[in-house]
Structure 1
Amino acid sequence: MLTVLVTGAGGNIGASMIRGLCDWNRSVHIVGTDVSRYYCFLSQADATYRVPPASDEAYFDRLSEIVERESVDVIVPSNGWEVRALSQHSETVPAVTALPQGGAVAQFQDKWRLSQAFADKNVQTPKTILVEDPSDVKRAVDNIPTDYIWVRGIGIKDYPGRKMRDLSRIVDWIDYHDGWGSSTVSTYLPGDDLTWLGVYDDGTLVCSQGRKRLEYGESRSWGTGAPTVSRTIHREDVNELGKRSIETVDNAPHGVYFADFRADEDEVPHLTEVNPGRLGTTSSAFYLHMGLNLTALLVQIALEESYDAPPTFNALPAGFHYISKANCDPVVVTDEEIESEGFEP
């Protein structure tokens, strides 16, 4: 029997990937791992183990022990920390993965380095300044000609991004997060909040899908965290820009990536970040609801098996909304249903 290990099994992405493996028309023994002694209880895997953080030197010893004990064939990580660790030390663990190259992962996960990588490429990004002390904040406020600027950390889930303008509040916000040298301020773009997910197999784009985020009802800041409402879209510019954003940095893309964009006042998308090697909170659940089992596809790519490939672009129909909130069962609703059955105020 095929054995697949899902990391972060007690989290929302890990839970969706486990559902994908359970829905697959194939017998799979599912092993879950999680860092949290509490979230392990949320895992729906057949067997669940606690592991140290991926930054801990004991991480690979513990993971290898689990892989050997459970005869794991494939590892599918669900978070950026384990994507980075596994992509850089894949030979350490006796199981296969479908992950990008370690160097590309490191560059994608550093938002400042990523913005600089596109400075002389044909990919538009917001004007961005690295802030190392308060004088950089003043320079940014003086030189970014928008009503607001976007302040955020540059690493993996460093700290929430926030739309701000007041100089003293920006300095206090960065101070509070001990973010000098690891924060950026950027042009705040007021247009559509867009994302594009692509799955690659050894340099070839297998399938992709674009989406527009509509509401962040449970997030502390717009554009941070998972949206509560998002909608599938078919946009040629987003498809082209998403593909180019990945392939500009990674010359042999492999596995899954999702690129985020914000549009300017003329509705031109600008790249804001790329998340390599993992599914997102919404895509892992939404696309599975729509019949696109990306977890199963990634396992087949890792095993170098043949598979039925979805359409390269626009893998799902446009105009479907995914609506989800904590403690509520998510629903998928069409444009037509919202127009004809939407609740009146």
Structure 2
Amino acid sequence: MYKILITGAGSAQTNGVVNCLLEDNEACEIVGVGSDPYDLMFCRAHKRYLIPHSTKPEYKEVFLKILDMEKPDIVHFQHDVEMAIALKFADEIKARGCKLFVPDYETIDTCVYKYKSWKKFKEAGIKVPENLVIKDEADLRKAFNELTDGEQPIWFRPMIIGNAGKGAFVTTDIEEAKENLDNAKGWGNYMAAEYLPGENMTWLSIWDDGELVVAQGRKRGGWAYSSMSTSGVTGITKIGMTYSSPELDEIAINCCKAVATNNRPHGIFGVDLKCDRNGIPNPTEINISRFFATVEFFQKAGLNMPAIFKDLALYGKKPGLSKILNPLADDLLWLRSLDDRPILTTQDKMKAALIDWHNI
């Protein structure tokens, strides 16, 4: 039996990983650590520790103390900013006999800062929306002159990754943009990008020193609680659908290599993309070294990526998959709602289960 310590315990993205590992064939002991006591109550880890937030000065001391007490075989960070902080004392983590299966700090830093990853994508010749850093009102006027035809809105977002589309907004009005930037103290900290009107896609992958181990594509059919967000983006997938495309695979692989040191990705890379008006997927960010919140979707459909990650990190064992690119069938649906378990289904099963008023 192995022991794993997972951070961000109680959050949706960590709970999905915990649930996947509990469904794996190998017995395990899971230690969850998190800074929100109410979130922690929802974590199914065998032990749950309330710890300081990673930005607090006492975080390192408490974190290392728990490692000394629990002696986990592996530590997995489910928040990229926390991982970037913890990697500054990675040697002290490894000295305690804990394995880490993560990219190097430079790769993580590139992905945490959206502008840095956007520059890497662009330098690699990957199709991306044009972006401008908004330092002052002159930059804002330039954005409205260059990034929109007056009908399409402009997408504004913080330059550092924020969960659930935090801080992002879309607008066609320069005065509204100025007011939002004033309120957010966003001058110099925001990017403006040309709006991408097409479908949302993600591509989740695991790499081993430059070798792709497994990857699965997915579409987002909508965001939950979108009306509660200024941008319409909440980061909470309401409808997920398995999806495969050679074009998506090629773009996503190139994105992972573009941000990785020496073009050799290692660990977990989750590429978020949105299609432009011509239907071409454009990368918007990479969620680095963590699984997305709906990773349990893939596990229920037959692809347990956290278990694959664990086998690689602990034993160097790769999965015996017949396909490493998109091993799941297309068009499987994952439906999510507050206060209820998600549903794995298909469009055909939904039609059979529901009475359409057209047929009455």
- Normalised by the size of structure 1, how large is the TM-score? 0.95
SS at match of 2:198: coil
Distance 2:34 2:7 in 1: 6
Gaps of 5+ in 1: none
Alignment partner of 1:112 out of 76, 97, 115: 115
- Output aligned runs, 1:250-269, within 5 Å: 250=260, 251-269=263-281
Letter in structure 2 aligned against 1:169? E
Distance 2:170 2:254 in 1: 27
Distance 2:105 2:264 in 1: 12
Letter in structure 2 aligned against 1:254? H
Distance 2:308 2:89 in 1: 23
Q: 1:156 — aligned with what?
A: 161
Distance 1:98 1:245 in 2: 20
Q: 2:218 — aligned with what?
A: 211
Distance 2:288 2:127 in 1: 19
Q: 1:132 — aligned with what?
A: 135
Q: 2:26 — aligned with what?
A: 26
Distance 1:65 1:312 in 2: 39
Distance 1:81 1:295 in 2: 20
Gaps of 5+ in 2: none
Distance 1:323 1:343 in 2: 18
Q: Do the aligned partners of 1:9 and 1:32 also contact (CA within 8 Å) in 2?
A: yes
Letter in structure 1 aligned against 2:305? L
- Output aligned runs, 1:253-332, within 5 Å: 253-282=265-294, 284-310=295-321, 311-332=323-344
More deviation, 163-172/150-159: 150-159
Q: Do the aligned partners of 2:225 and 2:234 also contact (CA within 8 Å) in 1?
A: no
Structure 1 residue 166, shift from structure 2 partner: 0.4
Letter in structure 1 aligned against 2:167? P
Q: Does 1:47 align with 2:47?
A: yes
Distance 1:142 1:321 in 2: 40
Alignment partner of 2:179 out of 157, 172, 189: 172
Structure 1 residue 72, shift from structure 2 partner: 0.7
SS at match of 2:75: strand
More deviation, 7-16/153-162: 153-162
Q: Do the aligned partners of 2:334 and 2:345 also contact (CA within 8 Å) in 1?
A: yes
Q: Do the aligned partners of 2:224 and 2:234 also contact (CA within 8 Å) in 1?
A: no
Structure 1 residue 304, shift from structure 2 partner: 3.6
Q: 1:197 — aligned with what?
A: 204
Deviation by residue 1:233-265 (Cα, 9 ceiling, x = unmatched): 111100111111001120221111111111111
SS at match of 2:309: helix
SS at match of 1:194: strand
Q: 1:63 — aligned with what?
A: 63
SS at match of 1:176: helix
Q: Does 1:99 align with 2:111?
A: no
Letter in structure 1 aligned against 2:282? H
Aligned residues between the structures: 344
Alignment partner of 2:247 out of 221, 237, 241: 237
Q: CA RMSD in A?
A: 1.7
Distance 1:58 1:34 in 2: 14
SS at match of 1:285: helix
Q: Do the aligned partners of 1:87 and 1:105 also contact (CA within 8 Å) in 2?
A: no
Distance 1:109 1:262 in 2: 18
More deviation, 122-131/331-340: 331-340
Q: Does 1:334 align with 2:334?
A: no
